[in-house]
Structure 1
Amino acid sequence: MKIQVVEDDLSLNQGIVLALKDDGFSFVQCNTVRQAKAAYGEGRPDIIILDINLPDGSGYDYLKWVRERENAANYTQILILTAKDMEMDEVVSLSLGADDYMSKPFSLAVLRARVKNLGQRVSREIQKGELYKTERFHFDFDILHFECQGREIFLSVNEQKLLKLFVQNEERILTREILMERLWEDGSGYVDENALSVTVNRLRSKLVQKGEESPIQTIYGQGYLWTRQGEKDVS
């Protein structure tokens, strides 16, 4: 799961990342509206932590810009940060489509709790939608139809379960232990770690053509990560 942090205070920007890094998120750090728009164009984040007062404009402008480019299937959770503890700022933020709001100074522990809550909303939306569409992939878990660059691919039951786990936790590291527990949670006999490796490798081979980079990355010593690699959503 990917978070975009848009904050021109470099120390606070880094502090936010450090406070959240142990929760398995990946990050894109921006200091201006221009940087934020460029980064969004390279791949929609799942969550945006957005300061209002930025060097080249208002965070409100970026908030509106993001909402104009989204729909119910592609929705980014946005948490607003402001130095002003004013009710009107909160009203404006929420009326423009923000999902949460915090006034500076704030506790990083409280921020972490709120971001984890937003992350849970993202996961629920993916589960509810049963559809994952990017420029490269089209996965419909409701009717069990899977395409890669317009080419239909056929997956085993465990490959389907593994793929769904990956896309539900996009840009988030999943440990081998978690994957094994979720894949074989029905208690179907003894399963060794090699079974997981075989399933991951088979899924990789079906998702990519020769010479292409796989969206399933091995994070050595930690687990696996599904990444968009800059791909955009499609409707």
Structure 2
Amino acid sequence: MGTDTPGKGLVLVVDDERPIADLVRLYLTREGFGVHTEYDGEAALAAARRMRPIAIVLDIGLPGIDGLEICRRLREEGDWTPVLFLTARDDEVDRVVGLELGGDDYITKPFSPRELVARIRTVLRRTEGPPSADKIRQVGGVRLDNEQRRVYSAGVEIALTPTEFELLARLMSRPGRVFSREELLASVWGYAALAGTRTVDVHVAQVRGKLGDASPIRTVRGVGYSVEGGAESAES
């Protein structure tokens, strides 16, 4: 394991292939991030709990506890640190399960280190500030507070990952407007790829499940998603 600590915050990088972990660390350090590296699941989980990084780059195929299980345990503990999965397997099941467990994004090996850094920056931007000029937006029984980054469904606070929050905020910014999957992928994830639209579907399903019966999200078959219901901007 190793730690470099420049000033943009600490990123935990976990990969049992040391050359890959070292390469990712090199690029992130150049961009001003602190980096701590681990090479197996048990050590990675302990480091995540101990260090509270701003983001985790997490290989799925780790010895011991795999990356999916690490993410599951952190989410169960109420830790919503952004997670970007790495996988050497071009397997949609791995990607979908990772997103269902609360992952924010994924990238398949081999990958461009520059693209990985860009993806991390995009994930972190989701935690930095409101995507809408309205501080509070309400649609039906769902209330979204951009300033505090909190969501309430039927009066109960709901825990969302940064990506889930950004997706819901995007949809609620224009009630009644239909957003295509490609548009949501570009505006929330910051990139466009035809294969990536499945990512949008999985995250929408996760948000709907968390919001429960109060969810205002509607599927527009063959197009994308919208939110419907009595909309109001409570503060601006």
Check whether the contact 1:63–1:98 (CA below 8 A) recurs between aligned residues.
Answer: yes
Deviation at residue 129 of structure 1 after TM alignment: 3.0
Check whether the contact 2:28–2:35 (CA below 8 A) recurs between aligned residues.
Answer: no
Q: Using CA pairs below 8 Å that are at least 6 residues apart, which structure has the higher relative contact order?
A: 1
Q: Deviations over 1:133-184 (max 9, x none)?
A: xxxxxxxxxxxxxxxxxxxxxxxxxxxxxxxxxxxxxxxxxxxxxxxxxxxx
Check whether the contact 1:46–1:75 (CA below 8 A) recurs between aligned residues.
Answer: no
Partner residue of 1:220? none
Counterpart check, 1:30 vs 2:35: no
Deviation at residue 110 of structure 1 after TM alignment: 0.9
Partner residue of 1:21? 29
Q: Normalising by structure 1, report the TM-score.
A: 0.50
Partner residue of 2:68? 60
Larger radius of gyration: 1
Counterpart check, 1:128 vs 2:162: no
Aligned identity (percent) is: 36
Q: Deviations over 1:35-91 (max 9, x none)?
A: 112212222111000001111131111010111122xxx631000001111222211
Q: Where does the alignment leave 5 or more consecutive residues of structure 1 unmatched?
A: 131-235
* Alignment length (residue pairs): 127
Deviating above 4 A after TM superposition, structure 1's stretches of 4 or more consecutive aligned residues are none
Read off the aligned partner of 2:65 and give its amino acid letter. Answer: G
Check whether the contact 1:46–1:122 (CA below 8 A) recurs between aligned residues.
Answer: no
Helix, strand or coil at the partner of 2:51: coil
Check whether the contact 2:74–2:80 (CA below 8 A) recurs between aligned residues.
Answer: no
Helix, strand or coil at the partner of 1:90: helix
Q: Distance in 2 between matches of 1:87 and 1:41?
A: 28
Helix, strand or coil at the partner of 2:128: helix
Read off the aligned partner of 1:87 and give its amino acid letter. Answer: E
Counterpart check, 1:106 vs 2:111: yes
Change over 3 Å in CA distance of 1:122–1:24 after alignment to 2: farther
Deviation at residue 114 of structure 1 after TM alignment: 0.4
Q: Normalising by structure 2, report the TM-score.
A: 0.50
Read off the aligned partner of 2:60 and give its amino acid letter. Answer: I
Q: Distance in 2 between matches of 1:120 and 1:60?
A: 23
Alignment of 1:73-112 (within 5 A): 75-112=80-117
Q: CA RMSD in A?
A: 2.0
Helix, strand or coil at the partner of 2:57: strand
Read off the aligned partner of 1:114 and give its amino acid letter. Answer: R
Q: Where does the alignment leave 5 or more consecutive residues of structure 2 unmatched?
A: 1-8, 131-145, 150-236
Read off the aligned partner of 1:67 and give its amino acid letter. Answer: R
Counterpart check, 1:3 vs 2:11: yes
